Chain A
């Protein structure tokens, strides 16, 4: 169950439209390391986590990722607000405009639509947590790449916030993994899958 709070996690007020930049930032909405995949990944993986600290963490980070999904959408929306056709012509946003006008739709910067294969839910606590650690770093790299392209402070500020959150999530997932390993056989973490092999201890 979720409740909506009518505010963003971090304020965004982009004054100058920039369709070319919107066509890049859309990748963190629906691209391979975007916030759609992040929220779906954690919220899907929760069910096979045998320890409450970890299922709780996945719930809370998954929830925060939904707030990040909203922030990225708002950036795309504000960057494409009140555009004229002349402002769109010849920019990388042109092809997107043909299919979606200025609506927000999940795709990668390269135009590839969002696909569930961009994340995994393996039903194995170590596999899933290692994927989560990698996912946070991949998202951090993507934010780094975007930050290099941006010189508008209104866009840079929320991007920096989002980048920083990837680092904090990475830290928390690292703690979750070590908490899991503490409860498994230190001589062989892979002796059994605590999410599936219920008779093993």
Chain B
């Protein structure tokens, strides 16, 4: 069995803006092992490293173990910002459907947003049920619900 092929969180080869890759990401999530399917991904990678930590990204003294958590936060922050731009611009366009500047801005941001969502899904689990790509486990139920973790 090719572990990497079946791992939905495997890394893409290229870097994406706003996110820094570390090799820790490529590890098979615990929930993908047959012996520990009942163990949610959150227990291992999210909940524990968050406890009592500040979210200051400028601190360069983070240990290697913590780095994936910060990077996931950074990717999610990117999605929050781009997602907000999408919502806000769409409402503006509903009442200004011919505004060329807003149309161009929406098109530009839509690309970045979809790219950010795709990158996040490939590395940290699906954000949308259509992003589920794995073959041996339904990863939609492996990642935490939005209220379980620090946003």
B130 on interface, CB distance cutoff 8 Å: yes
Q: Which of B92, B145, B149 contacts A172 (CB 8 A)?
A: B92
What are 20 pairs between A and B in contact, CB < 8 Å? Answer: A3-B128, A3-B129, A4-B129, A5-B128, A6-B143, A6-B146, A8-B147, A9-B87, A10-B84, A12-B147, A12-B151, A13-B150, A56-B94, A60-B90, A61-B91, A64-B87, A73-B147, A74-B147, A168-B91, A172-B95
For B77, B127, B143, which residue has the most chain A Cβ atoms within 10 angstroms? B127
Q: What residues of chain B have their CB less than 8 Å away from a CB belonging to chain A?
A: 76-77, 79-80, 83-84, 87-88, 90-92, 94-97, 126-130, 143, 145-147, 149-151
Q: Is the CB of A7 within 8 A of B151?
A: yes
Q: Which of A56-83 touch B at CB < 8 Å?
A: 56-57, 60-61, 64, 70, 73-74, 77-78
Q: Which of A5, A53, A73 contacts B127 (CB 8 A)?
A: A5
A179 on interface, CB distance cutoff 8 Å: yes
What DSSP secondary structure best describes chain A's contact surface? helix
Q: Is the CB of A7 within 8 A of B146?
A: yes
Complex CA distance for A8 and B87, rounded to whole angstroms: 13
Q: Is the CB of A8 within 8 A of B151?
A: yes
Q: Is the CB of B127 within 8 A of A7?
A: yes
Q: Is the CB of A53 within 8 A of B94?
A: yes
Complex CA distance for A169 and B87, rounded to whole angstroms: 11
Complex CA distance for A7 and B147, rounded to whole angstroms: 8
Q: Which of A23-67 touch B at CB < 8 Å?
A: 53, 56-57, 60-61, 64
A90 on interface, CB distance cutoff 8 Å: no
B146 proximity list for chain A (CB < 8 A)? 6-8, 70, 74
B147 proximity list for chain A (CB < 8 A)? 8, 12, 73-74, 77-78
A175 on interface, CB distance cutoff 8 Å: yes
Q: Is the CB of A6 within 8 A of B145?
A: yes
Q: Which of B87, B88, B97, B150 contacts A53 (CB 8 A)?
A: B97
B95 proximity list for chain A (CB < 8 A)? 53, 57, 172, 175-176, 179
